[in-house]
Chains A and B, each alone.
Chain A
Amino acid sequence: GAVVSQHPSRVICKSGTSVKIECRSLDFQATTMFWYRQFPKQSLMLMATSNEGSKATYEQGVEKDKFLINHASLTLSTLTVTSAHPEDSSFYICSARGGGRSQPQHFGDGTRLSIL
């Protein structure tokens, strides 16, 4: 089946640090990638949608200057959490889709971000 690789799986860093998370589709071309955030015991919350070569579309309430998304190729999207603070600590999950909405989304294994 389709594989999405997310790296790193866990990050622990000091407040004020910027953190970059990579999401790669390993065996298919991802025309659209999505970024989600999940707090403990809660469901996934969609942060943004990105199409290759275009600016990301952010969900309401998500700061685009805080969460920088780059989708420069059909196999790679990155999420950078700028000047991270403890309230940004969460489980970040990416997903990728190879075609239109008739195609499933394939998810990475997530990145656990802890800001001290």
Chain B
Amino acid sequence: DAKTTQPNSMESNEEEPVHLPCNHSTISGTDYIHWYRQLPSQGPEYVIHGLTSNVNNRMASLAIAEDRKSSTLILHRATLRDAAVYYCMEYGNKLVFGAGTILRVKS
């Protein structure tokens, strides 16, 4: 079963930043935190991952709490193409998907 907790849905305005939270209170010390997103009828797309330090890439930023029990995915300027289901997962040997957060972006 999925070990992370995410809000069912969030809404954002286009061109504004979006902060997607995730709780992973039972994460082990060696598990990575991974984020993926999925558009309808497509396979998931890798977004970002990290272990302890905050991470930035061309798609997003990942802020990891000091105790690693939570993290936040930051989309700096949401576009309509960012509307998707976002999944955060603790990554030991395999990815176990939870329900994720449905992100809606309004124009």
With A104-B49, A110-B41, A110-B42 known as contacts, the answer to whether A43 contacts B94 (CB < 8 A) is: no
Interface residues as binary, B1-45 with A (CB distance below 8 Å gives 1, 0 otherwise): 010000000000000000000000000000110101010011111
- A74 contacts B by Cβ under 8 Å: no
- 29 CB < 8 A contacts A-B: A1-B46, A4-B43, A34-B94, A43-B2, A43-B98, A43-B99, A44-B38, A45-B97, A46-B94, A46-B97, A49-B93, A93-B43, A93-B44, A101-B32, A101-B92, A102-B32, A102-B51, A104-B46, A104-B49, A105-B36, A106-B46, A107-B36, A107-B43, A107-B44, A107-B46, A108-B43, A109-B42, A110-B41, A110-B43
In the complex, A48 Cα to B15 Cα: how many Å?
39
Residues of B within 8 A of A6 (CB): 43
Size bracket, chain B contacts: 20 to 34
Q: What is the distance, in angstroms, from B30's C-beta to the closest C-beta of chain A?
A: 8
Residues of A within 8 A of B46 (CB): 1, 104-107
- A75 contacts B by Cβ under 8 Å: no
Q: Which residues of A contact B (CB under 8 A)?
A: 1, 4, 6, 34, 36, 43-46, 49, 91, 93-95, 101-102, 104-110, 112
Q: Which residue of B lies closest to A6 (CB)?
A: B43
In the complex, A36 Cα to B91 Cα: how many Å?
16
In the complex, A43 Cα to B4 Cα: how many Å?
13
In the complex, A105 Cα to B2 Cα: how many Å?
17
Q: Known pairs A1-B46, A93-B43. 15 more at Cβ < 8 A?
A: A43-B87, A43-B97, A43-B99, A44-B97, A46-B96, A94-B43, A95-B43, A95-B44, A105-B36, A105-B95, A106-B46, A107-B43, A109-B42, A109-B43, A112-B41
